[in-house]
Each structure stands twice: as structure tokens, then as C-alpha cells.
A and B are shown apart, each in its own frame.
Chain A
Amino acid sequence: MPRSCKWGLLVDSAALVRDTIYRSTILLDRQEWNDWLAHCDDNFEYAIRAWSPEINKDVTYLALDRNGLATMVKLLPKHNTDHSPLTRHTSVYTVDVDEAARSAKAISSVVVYQTLLDGINSHIDAGESRLFLVGKYIDTFKLQDDQAKFLSREVRIENRRLDKGSHWPI
């Protein structure tokens, strides 16, 4: 339900959440990591997880807090990496807003394509797009003023075959 903000305008919190998820998708695709982190609360927690029917366990492939992520992306230029760009296709499925708690939870479908650049034999493969990841974003938000800030993001992927993997946040 729309809510009045301090300037007397109507703010639709669910729309704000959706907008934040979509803008973040663009920032992540552009590898503008710090601009993405600017949408994250100081207590932000990030994780990539999957269910592995092979070992019958939930597996955590990466887990970092906001500082950990900031350091990780800062050090990226020091690392050798596969520079094949990732393109995320996000569809927000549900947004549940708790106006009283000024929080929200959203579940989005995310599909990540990798367009090969330098990972294999660039002469042959560069320019080819492959399906890289299939999963969901499970996000929680803090609503403040006219912003929705990420409190947590769980990237819950289906894949356990990850081949070369990636150095980047998904």
C-alpha cells in the first residue's frame, strides 16, 4: 500500500523494492560493484548457496558481509580472472512489505548468461553466450525514507556444475 514520505509524496514500498532490484541488476552487469554496494546497508550479508543432492546438503559457495565484499571487489584487479561478461536476467516474483517494521522481503528469478571473451580459446569462443547460472535472488530490505537498502541477498542457485566459476558477485 502506498505510504506518505516526509515530503508528502506517496511512496509505494513494493515498487521501490522492485526498482532497487532491477537497478542493482544493471549495476552488477556493468561491474559497477561499489555503486551496487551503495544500495546495501552497513550490515548487509551476501551468500551464494545451493542444495546439493550429491551430498544431501545445503552448500555455501560464497558468504561475505559488506566489508568482505568491498575488499573482494577492491582486490579484483590483482587477480587473474575470466573476463567474460555476465548478463543477469532478473524477474521479481514476490515482494512482501512489512510497513510497521519498515522492512521487505523479495524473491526474484535470476538467470545468468556468460558471453565468452577470454576464458577458453577466444578466437573460437569469444562472442558466444552460454547459460551460466539458474537460480533465485532472495533479498531482504530495510525501508528508509524513499530508499530500499539491501539487508541481505542470498543467491540460491540450482547449479553444482560450475566449471571455471567466477571471481565476481552474482
Chain B
Amino acid sequence: MTAARKPDEDRGEDPVELPPQPIEYSSTTSIRGPLIVVEGVEGIGWNEVAEIRLANGEVRHGVVLDVHLDHAIVEVLEGTAGMRLDGVRTAFGGGPMSVPVTEDWLGRVCDGRGEPLDEGPPILGSRRREITGTPINPAVRIPPSEPIITGISAIDGLATLVRGQKLPIFSVGGLPHLELAAQIAVQADVAGEPFAVVFAALGVTHADAASVRQTLEARAGEREAVLFINTADDPVVERLMTPRLALTVAEHLAFECDRHVLVLLADVTNYAEALRQVSAARGEVPTRRGYPGYLYSDLASLFERAGRMRDRAGSVTLVPVLTMPAGDITHPVPDLTGYITEGQLVLAKDLHARGVYPPLDLMGSLSRLMRRGTGAHLTREDHPELSDQLYALTARALQAAELAEIVGADALPAADQRLLTFRATLEREFLSQGQEEARTLETTLDLGWQVASQLPAAELTMVSRQTLAARYRAKEGDAAHGHVR
């Protein structure tokens, strides 16, 4: 990543004038933590990128954090370990950090700075864009209102992902959230319209990175996916860049190339920890649990890049994946994420222990935009009612289960016992599916009716009479069972 070199006609930026040969400054007067001070600079702007050449020829990258007359304080992305004051030469790039924007990203596997990890050539483009992004004018947004089908019943049926939405996955260590994210990335589909997946792995292990890479290989091969991998042993400051890089590429694919783009960021908790570490190194005042006071705004500067815009065909949909430290949903990372996103998908340990995949906890999960993205013409006319009904029944089944804990299942009234059976069937037949199994929406909804129809029709009070007449399947053996693709 280097500086913006070309003016961007589309967004009307000022052209950045670069000296033909960037001046190198060799007067480095101090090194402290990740920061170095370069003196004697001229015409350097705040937030400008820098290339730092060490005496041994090694090149590191930096950003201007503070510029005072002819002093620039530069944060070194790779850290300052091993650096000495003498022999360091710093050249500034003439503008904030930027990336080339081009469809050539599709099909590629890169590191967290956008350098190829595959065999391909470096990604070049005639146009570049700053990675911090520019806020979408809220007055040109249009509300998300069409679904993305993931092929996963729990999501499509009960917490539908909508184009332009940001819907995180809240998980805990040891649960298959990366597998789920990768499965979504592979299966997601928008009824044949142009589509792309941007997957940014943040601070993951090499093993996890390899498995995500393998899962996404085919889709990348079809030039429908790009993968950015920042592993746990990569520099922490780079971890702050990776999601911005991914989102900048995504915005281009969506709003200039008319694609529906699904961005997955995993694991955002690693990102937030990197932010905390960098903030502490800068000497900033910490707030809750040591995170900087701007954690909310910083996460929002990522997540709010999702959306749709008037007069543009594409969309950016965002699925951040995060692990809740100690399973605590009130921890600042899930908490602030929940305050920014439009709902959440919560994974639960007990479901995982019972062998349910994906282990989606229905009561904690909600897609706030589902109402607008489902129904006749979008999914199927019975979809919203069915989903409301399954939620309501699950809530009642949970109450019955709690009661059963106290008095024993046998002592429950018949209606409550039916609810317990309903819940078990829902988990087994509807929620559970294979990691490589993509269900059509029809299959998902039909399965939902099959489970709901185990209960007497009179108990399905959230469903209108017409829908009931059309969809309820009176018990008659096990005729329609799992016509699962």
C-alpha cells in the first residue's frame, strides 16, 4: 500500500502532487514504542504514509501521527524493534494510505497489506483510493430490502441476511464460527445477480487461515472472491489496516462495479485488541477494560461502510465475526458491535455440545432488517409469518424446558410436552445441517412447516388462516422428509 498517486475523478478529490523523486529524510531524532521522530521535513501532511528504509536495507511502513513545523512523528506499522537512529531514511508518500481499486482483486489471496500470497502478480491499478474511506452521505442511502440467501436454514429462515445490512456473528472460543463464516462465504447467493465475497481474516492462526483459504478456493477460482489474511503473528498495526483495505476494495466492487458484495471480517475481537495495544502505545487514556474511548466510533468507521446507495446497483453487506471473551456479551467488543449492527447471530455452547451445527441460539439472535427483506416477491409470502411462529414456539418451548427442570418433563401438561418435542425436532431437522450442505430457500421454508406442523394448527396463532390453509401439513406419516439438496 502506498500513497494516492492519481486523483480520483469519481469522488472529486484534489490531485495529489508528488515530487518526481520523493525526498528522503535521514534525520531521525528519537524512537519510542512504535513511534519515530523525523526532523527537517517540509510539506508533509497529517496521516500521510511513509516508507522507512533501515541501514540494512529493510523497508518498513509508517503513517504520520503528528506534524509540528518541521518535525513529523511517524508510527511504524511493523514496529520499531531492531531500529537504530542512524542510517534510517524516511520518504513520504504524498497522501494517506491507499490501495489500487480494480476488479483484479477477485480471485486473489493476499496478506493483510494486500501483497499477494498466491502465485499471481502484484495487484496494480490505475486508480487508487484511501483506505480509511469516506462516509456515505446518509441522505443518499436507501434502506436494505432484498435478501442474500446463504443456504443455511437457521439464517435464511429465521434471521435473514439483507443486502446492505451489517449482521455480526457472536461466538465463543471453540465454536465453529469460522467454519460458519466460510460456509456463508462459499454459499451466499443473490438470485444470480453479480456477486463477490471479500473475506478478511484478522489475527487468525495459520491453521485457521489455511482452512478458510481452502474452503474459499473454488469461489476464488471463479473470480468471485478475494481473501486478505492477517495472521496472529503479523504486526498488530497492520491488523488495523486489513479490514479497511478489504472494505475499500468492497466499496469499489459494489458501488462502481455494480456487484453485491459480502464482506466477512473474522475475528473482530483480535482487531479490537490490536486497537487497544496501539492506543496504549500512543499513551491514550483508556476507558472500559482498557479499550480506548473511541472504540465505538472506530468500529463504526468499519461497519457503517455497509449499505446501499441511490442510483447504484451494488451493495455492501457486512458479517463481522467475533468471539466474546469469557462468553460475556456485555464485554465492550460484542456490546459496542451490537450497538452498531442491525441485529446479531449468537452461537451457543450448549447447542454445539448437543451436536447442532450451526449452533444458532434463536432467542439471542435477530436480524433487525429481516422484515423488509422477506415475504412475497422477495423470498416467499409465508416466510415472515413462519419465522415469527417458530420464534414464538421456541420461546414457549424454552419456558416449558425450564419448568421441566423443576418438576420433570412427565409432570408437564400435554401441550408443554409437545413443545419440548417440537424444539428437539427443530434442532435436529431444521437448524442442523452439513457444513457443505446448501439448502434452497424453498427447502428451508418447507422444512420449517414440516416441523411446525407437528403441533396442532390451533397452536400456530402467529400465522394467518390463509397461510395455515396453504402451508400447514396435517400429519400423515412422514411423507415429506428432507428433500435436502
A and B interact: no
Which residues of A pack against B, CB within 8 Å? none
